[in-house]
Structure 1
Amino acid sequence: MPNISAHHIDGLRDLLINNENTPILLKLVKNISKNMCLIEPEAALTFVVEQVGDVHKLLSKKHISKNLLLKYLQARHPGTATDFTKSDLIMRVIEYWDMDKKSDNNGANETEQFPINLFAKQFSEWFYNNLNQTQIQLSDFWIDGALQLRIIADDEVQDVECSSSVDVLNTLVNTKEKFSFIFNLNLTSDGVQGRIDPYGLVIVLSCGTLHTVNQCVGVFESLFGLLRDPFGDNNWKIKKLKLLLRSQNAAHRHTLGASSSLMDALQLPVSNEAVDY
């Protein structure tokens, strides 16, 4: 088991899994493994974490340059001095991750009880329980409900778009049955949150892991846009759904902070206004 803490792994993910630095992560894998080739970034990060087992040692690797660490810090703390040694920068990056965790914990304690987040948790649990049991119904969607589904597996990307409730329902059910997926929702505040977009849609963001009978096979990320239906007992119905299914080694609980497809929506402000369930 790796000795690197979960929040340091999240920090390494933030540092290394992006367009600029993922090639460096893949070079690390080849260096540590003597030329093993992994091209899926999450699998590569998991391998490096398990093999090195120490965050200081990992950041000290020659592929992770002083300039890379400095650029990372300056992006998050503009004005960071440039006259640090690499050892100083490693300590400052780790301190930043530790402070970020404390800030996240304080913020989570305050915001996870906001009505919008309680609503998001209740809705997500209801939806994925029903999807796992194939009990989702046509009446759960607006008639013009839209779905954007992306499936990433074996380096192939499949995109499906639907613009009617019938097509959305059929696509969800058929996809689940085709792969025999069970959706394991992350019900913590790291895995389910709510927002309200500028157009009044209630946005529910959720993520978790994908399982078959015997193993964890990947992760999922979802964004729901919900509106009340005044002609349907004023119930909340799904107006739009963006769903990402990605095959990968999921050694750790999947979080919203690691959900690349949800980054823009996570920037929406968190509202403390009442939400009627």
Structure 2
Amino acid sequence: MGAQELLSMLTDVELMSVKDTVTKSMMPANSRSEAIDACLKCSQSAMQLLRRKKVRRDILMQYLARKSIPVVAGTDKVRLIKQIIDFWNTGSQAVATNSSQAISLPSIEQLSHQFTEWFYTSWNTLTTFACDHFFPDCQLTLIHENHRRVLGSYYVCDLLRSYVANQDLRFTPNVQSNKAQESTHGLVLLQMHGTIHQRGTCVGIFDQSFGLIRDPTHSNNYLIKFCFLNMQTQQSQQQQQQLTSANLSTPTYLVDIMQNYDQTVQQQIDSTDYIIDDGDDSD
């Protein structure tokens, strides 16, 4: 059931809070499954359940992303709820067909804005920030630490989490400065720029780049293949102006990555021997 899957995306505290609100604290729950069951039984409608405060807008967006349903950046919570309910009422198969048709001509700029909103909301709150959003062999390069590299989804996710959990940093991207490119074989390169905040004070700026690839084992959703992060905590007037510049050139190393990726894929295709079984060949 769709509502059950969506509720499972909440944290334990959030889920129990929703359960207490829906049941007016009249139904105890000793496990997550019991809490979800209570929410489903005591909610008058799906709309009423999804409009609960703890069912946040970013959770709704992430659920739609899991189902490969396009979402326009900036969509309010009510419209997201209606989109989810339409998905449940129409049936996943029909909606998936419509979604695949819509995705066949994707807007890279739209993807860039959607990814930016989802990633930094998830990163700053750590609510759904998990290693399953990264490929197992994902690589993170820290430019501000002499290009130190971290390999593996668990270690990449853990290090990024530490900036928020341990150093209390928050990252605010400037979406207007985003840059997006797509290679011939489907590698999407996104570049973001923004400010770094700590306990209410702006303490620096950052530049971050992502390489995204669709994964057929995850409902054809995009996962992070690689990431570059550069943080600068000493600002200048010139650096501040860079945040609003839309003409920042793509770093050479990122261009090389895209070219090397396409060349590698093409070499694999060229080196493969295809055997075509001709049914009309009597031999």
Which structure has more relative contact order (CA 8 Å, sep 6+)? It is: 1
For the pair shown, the structure with the greater C-alpha radius of gyration is 2
Q: TM-score, normalised by structure 2?
A: 0.47
Q: Which structure shows the bigger proportion of residues in helix conformation?
A: 2
